Amino acid sequence: QLQASGGGLVQAGGSLRVSCVASGFTLENYALGWFRQAPGQEREGISCMTGRGDRTNYADSVKGRFTISRDSTKNTVYLQMNRLNAEDTAVYFCAAEALFPGQRCGLNYHDMDYWGKGTQVTVSS
């Protein structure tokens, strides 16, 4: 099970951190990814991290502004979002993908095995 939290309302230029707690499985066996979906738009993969935390991947739209991290002791993955703008307004989801050792994590939502409920992030301009 995956549970995302930490969304909210923030002004443009501000920061927010969302969290995703995994239960029932350990992070080491799965890549965790963050996705977002704005009204009327397709779900967009924005960041992921391999189970061992040794590889990350970012969409161009968030590269340099967002940072994915993890706390294995809490089975939690975080997404630190800085310099937010109105285009970042969306429901943010976390998802897990089973990978083979050494495999890179991807941002294609079709490849995810498990999904959590989303958390709303709204950026006011």
- Each residue of 5-57: pLDDT tens digit? 999 999 999 999 999 999 888 778 899 999 999 999 999 999 999 988 889 99
pLDDT of residue 95: 96
What single DSSP character describes residue 110?
G
Answer whether 45's CB lies under 8 Å from 33's CB: yes
pLDDT of residue 26: 78
- Would strands 44-49 and 30-37 be described as parallel, antiparallel, or unpaired? antiparallel
Residue written as token pair 């992921």 = 48
